[in-house]
Structure 1
Amino acid sequence: MSDSRVLITTYPAAFLHRGGGELELVDLMNNLRQLGVRADLYGPTAQPLNKYDVVLHYSVVPTGIEFVREVKAAGKKLVLLPSIWWSKAPAQSEKDSVAEFFELADVVVFKSNSEYENVVEHVRLDSSKVAFYRWGVDSCFEELVDGELFKQTYRLDDYLLAVGIIEERKNQLSAIHALRESKIPLVFVGDYRDRAYYEACVKAAPSHFKFLPYLQPKSEVLRSALRGAKAFIEVSLEPAGFSAFEAGLSRVPMVLSAGAWTQEHFGGELVHQVDPMSTASIQRGVEAALRTPVSPELQRHVHNKYLMPQCLEPLVRVLKVRA
Structure 2
Amino acid sequence: MKVLYQIRKDFMDNLAGDSIVFLNLRKHLQDQGIKIDICTDENINIKSYDLVHIFNTIRTRESYGFMKNAKQHNKKVVLTPIYWDLRDYFTQTDQIVKKEAWEKSEDKRKYLFENCDMYLPHCEGEAELIRNNYRVNTKYVIIPYGVDESFKNGNKNYIRDKYGVEEYILCVGRIHHQKNQLNLMKAMSNERIPIVLVGSINDKRYYRDCMSQKKENIMILQDVKREALKSIYKGALLHVLPSWIEYPGLVSLEAGIAGCKVVSTEIGSAKEVLADYADYCNPSNIDSIYNAIMSALHKTSTTDLRNYIEENYTWHKIAKKAIEAYHSLI
Structure 1 residue 33 and structure 2 residue 42: aligned? no
Alpha-carbon displacement from aligned partner over 1:278-300 (angstroms, at most 9, x marks no partner): 11011011111222122221111
User: Could you tell me which residue of structure 1 aligns to residue 82 of structure 2?
Assistant: 83
Q: In structure 2, which of residues 141, 144, 161 is the aligned counterpart of residue 131 of structure 1?
A: 141
Alignment of 1:44-63 (within 5 A): 49-60=46-57, 61-63=59-61
User: Could you tell me which residue of structure 1 aligns to residue 206 of structure 2?
Assistant: 197
The structure, 1 or 2, with the larger RCO (C-alpha pairs under 8 Å, 6+ apart) is: 1
Partners of 1:302 and 1:39 in 2: how far apart?
A: 27
Q: CA deviation at 1:157?
A: 2.1
**Counterparts in 2 of 1:248 and 1:216: CA distance versus 1, 3 Å:** same
Partners of 2:175 and 2:205 in 1: how far apart?
A: 11
Q: Which moved more, 1:287-296 or 1:12-21?
A: 12-21
Q: CA deviation at 1:257?
A: 1.4
**Counterparts in 2 of 1:18 and 1:92: CA distance versus 1, 3 Å:** closer
The one-letter amino acid paired with 2:152 is: E
4+ long deviations beyond 6 Å: none
User: Could you tell me which residue of structure 2 aligns to residue 176 of structure 1?
Assistant: 185
Alignment of 1:1-323 (within 5 A): 4-42=1-39, 49-60=46-57, 61-64=59-62, 65-88=64-87, 92-126=103-137, 128-143=138-153, 145-217=154-226, 219=227, 221-239=228-246, 240-259=248-267, 261-268=269-276, 270-320=277-327
Q: CA deviation at 1:259?
A: 5.0
**Counterparts in 2 of 1:48 and 1:88: CA distance versus 1, 3 Å:** closer
Q: What CA RMSD, in Å, does the superposition of the two structures yield over aligned residues? A: 2.2
Alpha-carbon displacement from aligned partner over 1:40-60 (angstroms, at most 9, x marks no partner): 33269xx96333221211101
Overall identity of the aligned pairs, in %: 22
Partners of 1:313 and 1:87 in 2: how far apart?
A: 30
**Counterparts in 2 of 1:62 and 1:261: CA distance versus 1, 3 Å:** closer
**Counterparts in 2 of 1:262 and 1:62: CA distance versus 1, 3 Å:** closer
Where structure 1 has 5 or more consecutive residues not aligned to the other structure, the ranges are none
Partners of 1:178 and 1:166 in 2: how far apart?
A: 17
- Give SS of 1:315's match: helix
Alpha-carbon displacement from aligned partner over 1:127-171 (angstroms, at most 9, x marks no partner): x4222112211221223x221123322332221111122222222
Partners of 2:45 and 2:72 in 1: how far apart?
A: 15
* 1:158–1:229 CA contact under 8 A, matched in 2: yes
Alpha-carbon displacement from aligned partner over 1:12-53 (angstroms, at most 9, x marks no partner): 233332123212211111111122211233269xx9633322
Q: CA deviation at 1:201?
A: 2.1
Q: Which moved more, 1:235-244 or 1:274-283?
A: 235-244
TM-score normalised to structure 2 length: 0.87
Q: CA deviation at 1:226?
A: 0.4
